[in-house]
Amino acid sequence: MDAHTTVMTEHGSNVTRPVLVIGSLNMDLVARCELLPRAGQTVFGNDFFTAAGGKGANQAVAAARLGADVTMAGCVGNDQFGRELLTGLADAGVRAGAVAATDRPTGTALITVDASGANTIVVISGANMACDAALVDRALAGSPHPGILLLQHEIPVEANAHAIAAAHAAGWFVILNPAPARDIASELLPWIDIIAPNETEAAALTGRTVANRDDALAAGRDLVARGARAALITLGGDGALYCDGNGALHCPAVAVRAVDTTAAGDGYLGALAASLASGRSLPDSLGFASAAAGLAVTRLGAQPSLGTHAEVTDFIARYGAPVPQAIA
């Protein structure tokens, strides 16, 4: 592995660093049923609940519950959902002063979860589309020194592009979760320290089929060849595959019975950011993130499923921490 073996090799001394998340905040409207409906089909549900969500907010809460110093930047509406989301961030220990209230309605997500934990999600962006370069600049300027920046694709492409360029120039370690998948300007890739898609997103970004670990390795190498510093492809039950210019690692998942996979990927990336920000090595951070995601899928909801440091530590004591292995 190269400088990504520890985030601090290139970005400063081995000390705890802040985590900044710029991204989406949504209220999730969740229905549980035995089977996901097909097109034109009506099914009866077993349960309905609302839960705080949005990929950005999920990742921020995940990192904060694990002890990281986290700031969330984004937009909500002047409505009840927006107020509830801000309260939830504060309760999780996330600094929310960089979250702006707008006249647009708070983002929502309509989520259906079946008996196996699989889900379908429809996102209505709402206030998330008000994120702009000015908000990004305020968020970056609000940190006393650079740390880990987490981005996703649920805010405008222009805001993300500005965040990547400005954060890289200021010395931040940039992690982009390209979800949902959309094209990324080639000039931005060299400023992304880790691009972290799942199989579907990796396939969309590279034009390759990603159906197994070998496919993921080929897609990851493709993204690195295009300029990304490193690629991390999450593979659900098969864990995650990391590669950079010097090699590749596979980190297995924890074998548990999934109840709800909503926010498992967000929990994984929030845990990865928290671990790297604390100065842990990349391999150790991959194992810790896998354990955090394993705990999340055993619980219902997005943010309600995300564990504290004590809970993840207990989970590791019961199931063990996955150990990444080098692959050819």
Residues marked as catalytic? 266
**Residue 124 contacts by C-beta under 8 Å, 6 or more apart in sequence?**
107, 108, 109, 110
| C-alpha separations of 284 from 6, 154, 264, 287 in Å | 10, 29, 19, 5
- Across 212-249, b (16+ Cβ under 10 Å) vs e yields ebebbbebbbbbbeeebbbbbbbbeeebbbbbbeeebb
The residues near 273 (Cβ < 8 Å, ≥ 6 apart) are 19, 59, 63, 68, 148, 150, 175
Transcribe 293-320 into DSSP letters. Answer: HHHHTTSSSSGGGPPPHHHHHHHHHHH-
Contact in structure between 71 and 20 (CB atoms under 8 Å): yes
